[in-house]
Amino acid sequence: MSENLRKNILIELARYTGKEVAASFIKHTSDIITNIERFHNLITGIYKPVWSNYALSVVMKLGSPYEHKDDVIYLEDGRWLMTYSPRSGGLEHSDNRSLIKCMEDKIPICVFKQITDKRNKKYGSTYKVLGLGLITGYEEKSDVFIVESADQSILDDVTSVIPEEETRYEVKLYANLTNEFQPFVREGKANYTINSAKRDKVFRQIILKEYDFTCAVCEMKFLLGNLFEVTASHIVSKKDNGTDDPRNGLALCRTHHWAFDVGIFSLSDNYEMLLSPSLVKAETRNFDLLNLKGKRISLPKHKQIWPHPKSLLWHRNEILLK
């Protein structure tokens, strides 16, 4: 029972990977997600619920006495790695023992990093959801645990309780949002358990939902039940081995999707419209793109979903008509 409860909590947490959330979301989670009491009580850095022998989550707090030793870096495969100090009192402290048990039995945990504290007049205490992590070691000399973002095998295990394979794939895409972005699917590295049509469907659902079914360029929206006009575009195209990572996506109406794919326009790293110089040679009538040079596109509330500069650079270099 507790194993499935843990997996369900981790699944819900994975959907928020990369988002900045308020303290209330973490410690009063049931107000937002009814079947989860809390992700963390925010009393100490390590949270072990009464129903488990394993820690459920850790938080890297601002102003912590361990702050100088706690850090986040990226691994060669793009996943993140965090050094995390145990609670004072020695490794036999019950909180530290709960982390050691997670390490020994390869049990994943939820990981949060504090962004602002209660002294911030505008936001109060906020936290970034780093996502799902796995404790892979303890360095005695430095007195830190090593926490790495969950790899594919861990995500496969966590999501195994989800019966629908499309939902499993959706959770995995969200869970990877705090990993270093890779615009291309690495040849020989892809290990899909879902066919291409279903992957495309999940990618489309995420992009359209995050952009609120609205074209990022012209802000046109039509939504009536299952009828909608907007489409989901891969920035690095699928034929060029582009990833399904939502950071490689844009919501565009059909006209602007076509124009983007053929290189009539691209985007700067500041998300401003860049028009192809070839447009001066085109015969046009009522073609609104001519008036959009320099316009900043509309972006989702969830900043971790925003188009990644690596994909935009590729599009400018490879697709934008010169």
Q: What distance in Å separates the CA atoms of residue 251 and residue 215, rounded to the nearest whole number?
A: 5
Same domain, 136 and 19: yes
H helix runs in the chain, sequence order: 2-14, 23-27, 94-105, 152-158, 165-175, 196-210, 254-262, 309-318
Contact yes or no for 6/56 (Cβ under 8 A): yes
DSSP class of residue 184? B
pLDDT of residue 317: 98
CATH code for position 36? 2.30.280
The total number of structural domains that make up the chain: 2
Same domain, 146 and 197: no
Residue 278 domain-assigned?
yes
Same domain, 155 and 239: no
pLDDT of residue 118: 87
Same domain, 219 and 160: no
Query: Can you give the residue range of the structural domain that contains 271?
Result: 186-318
What's CA 157's distance to the chain center, in Å? 19
Which residue do the tokens 């911030």 mark?
A: 120
pLDDT of residue 123: 86
Residue 179 domain-assigned?
no
What's CA 8's distance to the chain center, in Å? 18
Same domain, 140 and 192: no
Residue 177 domain-assigned?
no
Write out residues in the chain with pLDDT < 70, as ranges.
1, 66-68, 187-192
Contact yes or no for 164/129 (Cβ under 8 A): no
Same domain, 196 and 293: yes
| pTM confidence score | 0.90
Q: What distance in Å separates the CA atoms of residue 165 and residue 192, rounded to the nearest whole number?
A: 11
Same domain, 275 and 298: yes
